[in-house]
């Protein structure tokens, strides 16, 4: 991990504008902070999707309508608190499936497996510690019907070309009739969206700065954490919520044998979290080889879990 971590950090900081890969947010401390973020009053995404899965998992099972043994494969499973709602409902109908959570965070995956083995003893679970694209390759030889879950609006963390490429690659590794269940954060009042990434208690700020702390800790860098500030933005036209870290002074940082100059007010691009309209979702499905079976909404229409079938 250290070699690829170093390589990708250096590549990101060499770009203009500078960027850091958001997949490295989730070390042990980063995962803990994100669990805290999901419980914040401003962070509506988790609550909205929880409501959908709590109330409509039975309907999702019926609409998925697998007639035989099947696999549930989840990308970015996290702590599984929402997924557990769906799995409980599925287990009421059948236990003729294997659940394979995939996550790059070993600590999150270990905790998830332990929790599910205790709370869902009938569940057959096969955790996979990998990134999404590598995991997609391992799906090719599975001959069961598949339901691939990509929840929590993780799809919004891709830039447009990347999300299309990702979904096309997913489709390439699925058979006709396989399904995907994808979480989409919907376009809404821009103030509600911006508050979700700029909470009053400062946890999201700490979450972003934690990546700099990780670079210091694991790569022996000398970054002055206090000289960077968290700055989120939202564009209601494109639906892109973007988080930056801003250098508050002219400074130089060292990572092993590399040095990087920062000007005062220079940004580091940290993460994109795109929001969607229902038309955006339909266009994305059709352009990547899927058809929409149904969209499931929370009561405020803040969020949608969209069930697609591979054409």
pLDDT tens track for 263-280: 999 999 999 999 999 999
Q: Are 47 and 126 in contact (CB under 8 A)?
A: no
**Whether 169 and 243 share a structural domain:** no
What are 36-49's pLDDT values in tens digits?
999 999 999 999 99
What are 54-73's pLDDT values in tens digits?
999 999 999 998 778 899 99
Q: What is the mean pLDDT of residues 291-307?
A: 99
pLDDT at 133 over 80: no
Looking at the chain, the number of H-run helices and the number of E-run strands are: 10, 14
**Whether 204 and 97 share a structural domain:** no
**What is the rounded average pLDDT for all residues in the chain?**
94
Q: Flag the least confident range among 18-22, 24-28, 250-254.
A: 24-28
**Whether 102 and 54 share a structural domain:** yes
**Sequence-distant (≥ 6) Cβ neighbours of residue 127 within 8 angstroms:** 100, 101, 102, 103, 109, 110, 112, 113
**Whether 147 and 287 share a structural domain:** yes
Q: What is the mean pLDDT of residues 226-230?
A: 98
Q: Are 128 and 102 in contact (CB under 8 A)?
A: yes
pLDDT of residue 227: 98
- Confidence tier at 1 by pLDDT (50, 70, 90): low
pLDDT of residue 2: 74
**Whether 173 and 299 share a structural domain:** yes
Distance, CA of 261 to CA of 13 (rounded, Å):
10
**Whether 75 and 88 share a structural domain:** yes
**Whether 98 and 198 share a structural domain:** no
**Whether 90 and 159 share a structural domain:** yes
Domain of residue 173 covers 46-188+277-310
HSE toward the beta carbon, residue 143, CA cutoff 13 A: 0
pLDDT of residue 65: 83
In terms of pLDDT, which residue wins out, 210 or 3? 210
Q: Which runs of E-coded beta strand occur in 35-120?
A: 70-75, 97-103
User: What is the count of structural domains for the chain?
Assistant: 2
Q: What percent of the chain has pLDDT over 90?
A: 82
**Whether 293 and 158 share a structural domain:** yes
pLDDT of residue 161: 80
**Whether 201 and 180 share a structural domain:** no
Residue whose structure tokens are 């929880």: 50
- Confidence tier at 32 by pLDDT (50, 70, 90): very high
What are 181-207's pLDDT values in tens digits?
999 999 999 999 999 999 999 999 999
In terms of pLDDT, which residue wins out, 81 or 261? 261
SS3 205: helix
What are 68-94's pLDDT values in tens digits?
889 999 998 777 888 999 999 999 999
The CATH number of residue 160's host domain is 3.40.50.150
**Whether 64 and 173 share a structural domain:** yes
**Whether 212 and 289 share a structural domain:** no
């Amino acid at each position: 991990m250290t070699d690829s971590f170093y390589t990708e950090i250096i590549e990101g900081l060499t770009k203009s504008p500078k960027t850091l890969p958001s997949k490295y947010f989730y070390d042990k401390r980063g995962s803990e902070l994100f669990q805290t973020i999901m419980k914040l009053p401003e962070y509506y995404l988790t609550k909205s999707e929880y409501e959908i899965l709590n109330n409509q998992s039975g309907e999702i099972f019926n609409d998925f309508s697998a007639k035989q043994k099947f696999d549930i494969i989840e990308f970015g499973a996290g702590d599984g608190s929402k997924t557990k709602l769906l799995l409980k409902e599925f287990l009421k109908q059948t236990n003729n499936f294997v659940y394979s959570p995939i996550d790059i965070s070993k600590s999150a995956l270990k905790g998830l497996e332990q929790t599910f083995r205790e709370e869902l003893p009938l569940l057959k679970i096969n955790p996979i510690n990998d990134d999404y694209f590598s995991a997609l390759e391992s799906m090719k030889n599975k001959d069961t019907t598949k339901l691939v879950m990509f929840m929590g609006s993780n799809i919004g963390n891709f830039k447009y070309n990347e999300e299309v490429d990702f979904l096309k690659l997913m489709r390439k590794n699925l058979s006709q009739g396989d399904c995907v269940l994808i979480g989409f954060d919907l376009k809404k009042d821009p103030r509600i969206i911006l508050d979700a990434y700029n909470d009053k208690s400062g946890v999201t700020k700490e979450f972003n700065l934690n990546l700099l702390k990780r670079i210091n800790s694991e790569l022996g860098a000398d970054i002055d954490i206090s000289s960077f500030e968290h700055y989120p933005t939202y564009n209601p036209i494109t639906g892109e919520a973007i988080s930056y870290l801003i250098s508050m002074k002219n400074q130089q940082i060292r990572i092993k044998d590399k040095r990087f100059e920062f000007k005062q007010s220079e940004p580091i691009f940290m993460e994109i979290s795109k929001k969607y309209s229902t038309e955006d979702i339909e266009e994305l499905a059709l352009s990547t080889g899927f058809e929409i079976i149904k969209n499931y909404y929370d009561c405020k229409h803040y969020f949608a879990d969209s069930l697609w079938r591979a054409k």
